[in-house]
Amino acid sequence: MRALAVVIPAHDEEALIGRCLASVTRAVSLARESQPDLDIAVVVVLDACNDTTATQVRRWPVEAVEIAARRVGTARRIGVAHAVTRLTAGADDTWIAMTDADTVVPPNWITHQLDLADAGVDLVLGTVRPDFADLSARHVAYWRATHHRGRPPGNVHGANLGVRASTYARAGGIPDLAEHEDVALVRAARTLGARERASDVHEVETSGRFTGRSPAGYAAFLARVHAWVDAPPLAAPGA
């Protein structure tokens, strides 16, 4: 690959954006060491932020774009559009990597995706692990028992999603949705016959909070699991 666009939507993430950008910056540095000629644009889309997120973002070597859509699909779409205009490579030679502002990526987050892209993959579905510090012991035990390294399920997570720019364009890009915009993009890419790979080699860690920025996003999923795993046992009749 000759170019990379990293896109991160953010809405009121002052508590978590710093660690996200620290991890992304580390991954970018490793990618530059691996491919010195790689053209990179990292864009954070500040969507209706009313806290200090914007101030914190500007401390990092990234570009900030401010909007007021309150829709993650719109934020991702605008971020991609902004990033690719900063890059000179063609769409076939440009990779788009997406994550979220409450997420920490591993050092190999970019290099692994680029290796897959160079091998001909058009779409990478990365796995996501919740921050165990935010979960109960029973919830962590359940998660460990149902998720096994080396067997990625192929779920779609905007917090760990990569796509070739030409595939992204042919699929119509990220739609302007308040939720499930990542699923819609993947569905469209699949109809085009995109070469797809699910991988947990570059697994990310996202916040284990139960109230997220998207009503039906990862936080809502964790909340449902929590309600089931940590629910108190039913009392015996007459107790």
Tokens, residue 110? 């970019």
Alpha carbon distance 185, 180 (integer Å): 9
Instruction: Please report where in the chains the tokens 């997120």 appear, as a residue.
Output: 53
Q: Looking at domain 3-132+151-207, does it have CATH number 3.90.245.10? A: no
**What does DSSP say about strands 103-104 and 123-130: parallel, antiparallel, or unpaired?**
unpaired
pLDDT at residue 134 in the model: 85
User: pTM for this structure?
Assistant: 0.89
pLDDT digits (tens, 9 = 90+) for 83-131: 999 999 999 999 999 999 999 999 999 999 999 999 999 999 999 999 9
pLDDT at residue 142 in the model: 84
Beta bridge partners of 8: 44
Q: How confident is the model at residue 214 (pLDDT cuts 50, 70, 90)?
A: low
Strands (E) located in the chain: 3-10, 39-47, 63-67, 94-98, 103-104, 123-130, 161-164, 196-206
Q: What is the mean pLDDT of the chain?
A: 91
pLDDT at residue 91 in the model: 92
Alpha carbon distance 64, 73 (integer Å): 17
Q: Is 24 exposed, middle or buried (0-12, 13-18, 19+ CB in 10 A)?
A: buried
Q: Is the pLDDT of residue 15 over 80?
A: yes
Q: Is the pLDDT of residue 236 over 50?
A: no
Please provide residue 206's backbone torsions phi and psi, each rounded to the nearest 5 degrees. Answer: -115, 165
**What does DSSP say about strands 39-47 and 63-67: parallel, antiparallel, or unpaired?**
parallel
